[in-house]
Every structure is written in C-alpha cells, then in structure tokens.
Amino acid sequence: MDALANNGIKLERHYVYKYCSPTRSAFMSGRLPVHVNQNNACNDALSASGIDLRMTILPQKFKLANWTTAMTGKWHCGARSVANLPTSRGFDYHLGFLKGGEDHWQQNRCAGGPDASTVDLWGSDTPAWGANGTYSAHLYASAAVAVVHNFSRALAAGQTQGLFLYLPWHDTHTPLEAPDEYFYPPHAGYTDFGPRVTYNAMARVLDEGMGNVTGAIKAQGLWDATLIVFSADNGGWLLKGGNGGSSNYPLRGGKVTDFEGGVRAVSFIGGGYLPDAVRGTSHSGYISIADWYATFCFLVGVEPGDAVANATVPTTDSLNVWPSLLIPNSRTTPRTRILLSYCPDPEVNKCTANNSALIVGAYKIICGAQEGMGYHQFPGFPNSTATPTATIDCAAACCLFNIIDDPTEREDLRVSKPAIFANMTAELAAEAKTVFQTNYPEPGTDECLSYAQGKSYYRGFIGPLCFAKSPMPPSPPPKPFALKRGGDCLVGSGASAVAQPCTSTAADRVWTVPVYGPGMAIVGTAGPRYLKVDEQPRGNVTTKAGFCTRGDVHLDPDAGQGKTAQGFVLDEATGQIRSTYCVGFGCLAVPGNGSFAHTSHCTAGSGGWRQDFGSSAPHGWTDGLGDTT
C-alpha cells in the first residue's frame, strides 16, 4: 500500500463519517452521510436503515455504461429484505458479509444480541454455505482475484466495457485477530502492547491482500487502465486507553468522534490510469467520500444525477473532483463545506444527542461530548504505559477550530473569534434542517421472520428476514449427500443417487458453475456427458475428455458443500462454454425435463446445487447443504 500511495496521490483532506455504515452509504449513494444514513444500526437485520431503496447507487450507474460490477467484503448498507442486498442494487456478484463486524475466521457474529454466533457470509443470492472458515482478508482477496480473471476473459470477448470492483476489507476492524505468521518479530521500535501488535499484523495481511489483487490486475494486462481509490471508512478505533490498537497521531480523536482523527481518513488514489504528472504528489483540497459518485460517473460517461430522487428523498450532494486531482499538489476542489454529522433524533438516528460538526472554509465547529474520546495521541501510541488526554471539552459549549492552521485541533477559537463562531453556529443550525435518515422498508415486506426463525431457515447463517409474502417456514434440517463414482450421469436423489450411462441428447447435459475457491470445472458438452467424483474425503469433479477443466470442485460427501470459482457457464443455445463474471456461489445441475429455472440460478451465481434427474417431474433438488425436496 505504501508503494501505491507513494506512486499515486495522497489525499490529505478526504472526509468520511465517524463510523462504518454512514460512510459506505454515502459512497454508494452520492449523498453526504447526513442525507442518507447516520444509523449504524443496520447491524440489526430488521432495520430499515442503510441506503434508501429509492436512491440509485454506484453499481447501478456503472451498469448504465455496460460495466461489470462486483463486490467482495463488508456491505453494511441494509439487509432487511432481498431488495436491500448488493445483487439487488446493481452488483453482478457479491461475496461478503451483510452487517458491521464479525469473527475474522469463522465469519460468525461475535457480538451480543439475538444473532450472536450466527454466520454472516453471503454469496450473491444465498448464504455462502461452506465458504466460511477462511481468514477474512484471504477470503475476499481470493474472490477479488477470481473476479479480475473472469473480467479479463469477458473483456476480451467483448462482453463488458469495464469493471467496478468494490473491495471493502474487514481488516483492520475489530475483533483484533490475525494469522500467527503475520505477527512481526520484536525489532527496534517494537511495541509489546497486545492490541497494537495484533493490529499491526492485521494491517500486514491487508497489505498482502492489496498486493495480490493489484498483482492479478497487472498479470491480466489491465494495470494501465486501472484507477484505485483507497480510503478508511472512519478513523482508527481508540477505545479508552488505546485498547482499540490503532493510532490517529498527530490528529485528535478517532472513530465515533467528529475530530479530525475520526473523520479525516487515510486515503490515496493510484493505478496506471493516473497521469505521470500527478504521481508522487499530495492533494489537500476538501473531498467528501460522497464525491466519488459524481467523479466515477464522469469518468465512465454517465449522468451523475439521480432521477428517482424526489421531495421525500434528497438529491445527490456529490461533486466531480477529477479535474482538481489532475493538478499536481492541488489545494482546492469544488467542495468548500462539509456537514460531517448532526444528531436531530438519538432514537431514529442511533446517535448521541448534541454531537455535530460542520466545516466551512478553514473553520470547523464541533459540538457535544464526542463520546468522551477526543484524545490527543502521541508518537508510539498506543502502548501499555501511557494514556492519551483530551485537553478541550466541547460538551458544555461548541468548539471552533481553524483546521488549516491548527489541524490537531488544540486551540479553541470560540472566545477569540466570536463573529466567526456565531456565523458557524447559525450555519450549523441551517444545515440541520436538511438532515435525512433512511427508514424505508421495501413496500409490502411487512411480515418478518424472528431472529430464531431466520437462523433456522438459513441454517445458521444471517439473511434477509422480511418478505413480501407471509414468512417462509424454516427449511428442513440438512441431510447427508454423497455422489457415487462411475458412470456418466446421476439418477436418484441425495445419498441414494447412483451413476448410470448418459445419452448424447441435449436433455442430459451435465455441467457445473462456480461455487467458491481457487479452481473450477466444467462438465462436457460434446459426446458422452461425464461426472466423476474421486473417492477422497473431499472428492474432485473433473471432465471425461479433459474439456475445460481448470481446477477442482471440492465436495464434502457429508454435507454436499462445494467450493470452486473462475466463472464459466454452458450456453445451452449454442452448446458452447462461455465466461461469466458471476463468480461466487453457483450450482451443479443435471437438467432432465427442463422444469426448473437453472439459468437464473446458475448464471446469477446462486448457492448450492440443483439437480433434475430426468424423471417426469423434478426431484432430487439439493441445495448447498445437501437437503433434498
């Protein structure tokens, strides 16, 4: 990441919200967080917060330009109903988690609440059954690399104009966890403060993941046309005494505060698309995370406005900052003011009363206690021997800072600059009238599963709980599923499936599409169709004639779970294998009478397997956990 930043443009005044979901909502919608979502409670699967469904978001804009859109990582923009999911909002493919944080290893919710211990990992249209259990950065980097490979093939085939890859990493978010091999050995300047040691290891994993993805881009010959925008979604998490492991020195405060350390994010842009004249420079003009919406729209040639916006949904705030980025070491952009936060209703917005902040020109007004974490940090923070201090309290009266001359916010100008303070107070009050909080459920989704019902229905995973019809009943418990070796086609269902010779008719085609992992397999389209499962604890599906085999599909004979990737699909109309960018959860299909909609499931990247064994009525329908219905 240092190499990318040093050979790109460091963004010195790139502003985000003070915590997760509002920043993501702003980036996706082109609205300032205060005009889309300040409610981090979309950690609650029943919450109607996140990004309002009436707003057009970035991947939908990219689709207008015939771009491929893919996402791997943290969503946190709403998951109440299917309409809130990434693939319902413009993404062709998604592998990641829906809420705000979880265990890095098992992808289960580790915080308290009704969904504690439930796995949060989603694969496009279904829970990513069988894909959890890999450290998060490795999981998402691997998926992103597969997306790049598949996009390269699609681009060469003329199937797409470009790729919008959204990769919101889970590192370095709590819980602080990292693989042992990424911990640095003691060295000069080394700290033995536990949270910091782990935090450093997590940053090292993230750095490697970025390297793997950019390496894949370069290997596919795509680097010269690549633009990378990297930003934190908030400042580092301090906690009391620095137990969050992070440091925002020399800036004051951190996550959950409106001080510079909480909202002025570590950010840069890089990639081969940048002109040589701006490489190795910095940019100190104001940029909001919302400004990338209009900037990206400009770069791909689509209208940056949002035609669906109306009197009940704010229009976009986004400004195109690309022209200013092309000026080496520029200090200006079209943006001169940013309403960072305002808490009009603590219950609706899930915010702290009186906490607010506004930037106008060089001045910034901050109000409220800011969770008592407006700390000034120091070199070497955090460690086990010293704690940070908060020298100015803005709770009793709002504070005024000149953040150009005093970026560490040490000198409160409220008394010495009374006219400016009065003007900023009036500006803040006027801006407060524009605050909008998304609280918009999908129309008709009035009936919802309980958390317990949802956990049962999704078999231990998190998913949308509200539906347009009456709540679906919990699905049956998993049953064992094992494929038998030999023959060409499978007949039967579940563990009783047996292999029998295939005919050469089109109705007997057998194929696979990706589920998840490093390889893939396609089962042939010409001559005898063939499905082979090696007699191993985790068998391999291959092709009889070596047709399009590029890897393995790993099958768990006890659960019927599969793992593969790459993204190839059989086009039944032509009998040809074509590439696709919907890597992620897929299906294994044996179409018989064609009575199930395999195309919508396979090419959309749905989870698990579907089988139709050629009977007069479909039977042997199996999902990713081997259930048969």
CA distance 199 to 205: 10
Task: Tell whether the torsion through CA atoms of 604, 117, 40 and 259 is positive or negative.
Answer: negative
Q: Are strands 14-15 and 287-288 parallel, antiparallel or unpaired?
A: parallel
Helices (H), 51-124: 58-64
149 in active site: no
DSSP-based three-state secondary structure for 566? coil
Tally Cβ neighbours within 10 Å of residue 224: 10
Contact of 75 with 128, CB cutoff 8 Å: no
Contact of 343 with 332, CB cutoff 8 Å: no
Please list, residue by residue across 71-102, b when 16 or more beta carbons sit within 10 angstroms of its beta carbon and e when fewer do. Answer: bbbbbbbbbbbbbbbbbebbbbbbbbbbbbbb
Tally Cβ neighbours within 10 Å of residue 144: 26
Q: What is the 3 state secondary structure string of 573-609?
A: CCCEEEECCCCCCCCEECCCCCCCCHHHHHCCCCCCC
489 in active site: no
Determine which helix (DSSP H) or strand (DSSP E) holds 145, and give its type and residue range.
helix 136-156
CA distance 127 to 108: 12
Phi (first) and psi of residue 109, to 5 degrees: -70, 120
DSSP-based three-state secondary structure for 104? coil
CA distance 341 to 258: 8
Annotated catalytic residue, options 14, 20, 35, 343: 20
User: Position of tokens 């195109």?
Assistant: 320
389 forms beta bridges with 376
* Closest to 97 in 3D by CA, of 112, 113, 115, 114: 115
Annotated catalytic residue, options 76, 94, 554, 598: 76
DSSP-based three-state secondary structure for 561? strand
* Closest to 78 in 3D by CA, of 29, 137, 113: 29
Q: Which residues are part of the catalytic machinery?
A: 20, 76
